[in-house]
Amino acid sequence: MSKVKIFHNPRCGKSRETLKLLQEKMSDDQIEVVKYLEEIPSPEELKNVLSMLGIKAEELVRKNEKLWKENFKGQSYSEDELVQLMVDNPKLIERPIVLKGDKAVIGRPPENVYDII
């Protein structure tokens, strides 16, 4: 079984639930936990994740975050600008994201991880 990577925020309930589901199905050495608020993905890494998810940057932005509403809502951004906004403000990245091989899912609901593990 190949390794999975989870972009994880320990303060997020959905992220914790998703990690728990992974831990129930896999051993700890098969799970790479990336605390993305501390280990911020590069723009290239985030673009790769978007490609694996098959979505645009706009769909990965947490638009209900206070940070988004107060600073960015109602403005128009290019794909590259949105990626850079998420890199500069990782709280805006939807979570959790689980990657395995060339597949990825957003753990909302957490059971989505079953599609790739």
Task: Identify whether the C-beta of residue 6 lies closer than 8 Å to the C-beta of residue 19.
Answer: yes
Domain boundary assignment for the chain: 4-115
Q: Tell me the whole-structure pTM to 2 decimals.
A: 0.93
- What is the distance between the alpha carbons of residues 51 and 75, in angstroms, rounded to a whole number? 24
Q: Considering 1, 4, 6, 12, which one is annotated as catalytic?
A: 12
Name the CATH superfamily housing domain 4-115.
Glutaredoxin (3.40.30.10)
57-67, pLDDT tens digit by residue? 999 999 999 99
Task: Identify whether the C-beta of residue 94 lies closer than 8 Å to the C-beta of residue 106.
Answer: yes
12 has catalytic annotation:
yes
Q: Which of 75, 73, 72, 8 is nearest to 36 (CA)?
A: 8
Average pLDDT over residues 98-102: 95
Q: How much of the chain, in percent, has pLDDT values that exceed 90? A: 97
